Amino acid sequence: MKALIIGTGEYVTGLVHGSKSTSDKGVGIVALTLFDLRQRGLLDEILIAGANGLKFPLIRQHFDQLITQKYGLDSSFRSFPNNDSHDPEAWRKALTELSPGDSVIIFTPDDLHFEMAHESASRGLHVLVAKPIVKTLEEHDRLIKVAQDKQVTIATEVHKRWDPMYADARQRLREMGDASYFASYMSQPKSQLESFRAWAGTASDISYYLNTHHLDFHCWALEGRARPVRVTASASNGVAQSINLDTEDSITLMVDWINDSGTKATGIYTSAWIAPKAEVHSQQRFFALHHQGELRIDQAHRGYQLSTESDGPQSPNPLFFRYTPDSQGRFAGQSSYGYQSIADFITGKGEQLATIESTRATTAILEAGRLSLDTGKPIDLNL
Ligand SMILES: NC(=O)c1ccc[n+]([C@@H]2O[C@H](COP(=O)([O-])OP(=O)(O)OC[C@H]3O[C@@H](n4cnc5c(N)ncnc54)[C@H](O)[C@@H]3O)[C@@H](O)[C@H]2O)c1
């Protein structure tokens, strides 16, 4: 089986604008995971498509240093465009190299997801798309249709579902009676505003970018038990504008939910990309109250602290992605949830897969949140 990755940014390669990322993903997640899956015999060939062919020599050098020399893993791939041209349509050429049943993994700015996913599925290919899968319910429903017509899987990459604590919490919440209150917070440091300057505020916003994670978790926890009926959004600004980015600093979505029993619940989802440099790259936590219990998770702090001369105090989370090799120097990240969410898509396993059919509510809430900000009014949902 072949797999094509579209996009050569931070999550795929660890490179941002041609420099090593300062985030917690030094050599990225997606390409490294696929190289390991190929080594394990679960994939035959890897293709990577970007918009700028000039980046590939640097990407190969970066992979050679941080993957092949470090773990002894083959990091070769076929690139599109395969010369030094700038070609934003190169992904279409790459698609022609695949056969029905092969896989496409899309990690490009949010406004490109729909077209790339639709074209891939139309060719009989299985598709995994970075969150948020698409930006509107209309696009979401068109993807459901093409997935059904072509009998392929379209899913969104929401790795929190593979975190052992989030997966456990989901099942426990479903045993705790009606939902009552949920509050999540997730942030990225200010430096990411520069990393994402190409699309921040134009192709997407911080709610689409980060609220998706906990929204997906909450919709998954309440699947078949409750439905969202109204979205009211609020935002803060000032920091992004001060560096000439016309986008919000933080966005909060307040969602009214109705449990199947008829009782009401509230969900509040906040995300920000102006956090200061701290002991973690990204703060991420939630609290949930149900009629028969409550729980909270601080996903950023796993009871593991270290400090080094070069980086100062840190709170690492190798449950997300383990870069430290095993005692023989081999890659040892196979049990990380960032790895498993991609591996389960490639192998066709995983009951947690966030399929296009099961994720309508998340897209509806994100779209309504944007509309609420733009109109200054609450938006009713009819799901
Ligand atoms: N960075 C993260 O931690 C992270 C985590 C999970 C999901 N994501 C999601 O991944 C997606 C991309 O994020 P990123 O952080 O990698 O962003 P990024 O800005 O670092 O990279 C985006 C990439 O898309 C490429 N691209 C743009 N137009 C293209 C085209 N026409 N053809 C092929 N490639 C094209 C760009 O060249 C760039 O390499 C977003 O949807 C984001 O929400 C990011």
What is the domain partition of the chain in residue ranges? 2-159, 161-320+354-380
- From the list 303, 257, 320, 288, the residue with the least C-alpha distance to 172 is 288
Write down the pLDDT at residue 166: 97
Ligand 1 neighbours (beta carbon < 6 A): 6-12, 16, 25, 49-52, 88, 91, 107-110, 112, 130-131, 196, 198, 209
How many angstroms separate the alpha carbon of residue 112 from the centre of ligand 1?
10
Q: What is the pLDDT of residue 26?
A: 82
Query: What fold does the segment set 161-320+354-380 form as a domain?
Result: Dihydrodipicolinate Reductase; domain 2 (3.30.360)
- Ramachandran assignment for 353, one of left (phi > 0), alpha (psi -120 to 50 degrees), beta (any other): beta
How confident is the model at residue 21, as a pLDDT? 59
Give the atom of ligand 1 at the shortest distance from the alpha carbon of 108: 24
Residues in the chain: 383
Residue 195 has a pLDDT of 83
Amino acid residing at 383 = L
Cα 53 to chain centroid distance, Å, stands at 24
Best residue among 11, 204, 211 to mutate for probing ligand 1's pocket (most ligand atoms within 8 Å of CB) is: 11
Q: How far is the CA of 113 from the centre of ligand 1 (A)?
A: 10
pLDDT of residue 22: 60
Is 161-320+354-380 in the same CATH topology as 2-159?
A: no
- Residue ranges of the chain with per-residue pLDDT less than 70: 19-25
Best mutation site among 10, 186, 284 for ligand 1 pocket (most ligand atoms within 8 Å of CB): 10
Q: Which of 108, 202, 299, 341 to mutate to test the pocket of ligand 1 (most atoms within 8 A of CB)?
A: 108
Instruction: Give the predicted TM-score (pTM) of the model.
Output: 0.95
Bridge partner list, 257: 228, 265
Q: What's the CATH code, domain 2-159?
A: 3.40.50.720
Phi first, then psi, for residue 286 (nearest 5°) are -150, 160
**C-alpha distance from residue 283 to each of 22, 300, 302, 321 (Å):** 16, 6, 12, 16
DSSP-H helix ranges across 78-234: 90-95, 113-122, 137-150, 164-173, 191-195, 206, 212-221
- For residue 128, the surrounding DSSP H or E stretch is strand 126-130
Question: For 151, phi and psi rounded to 5 degrees?
Answer: 55, 45
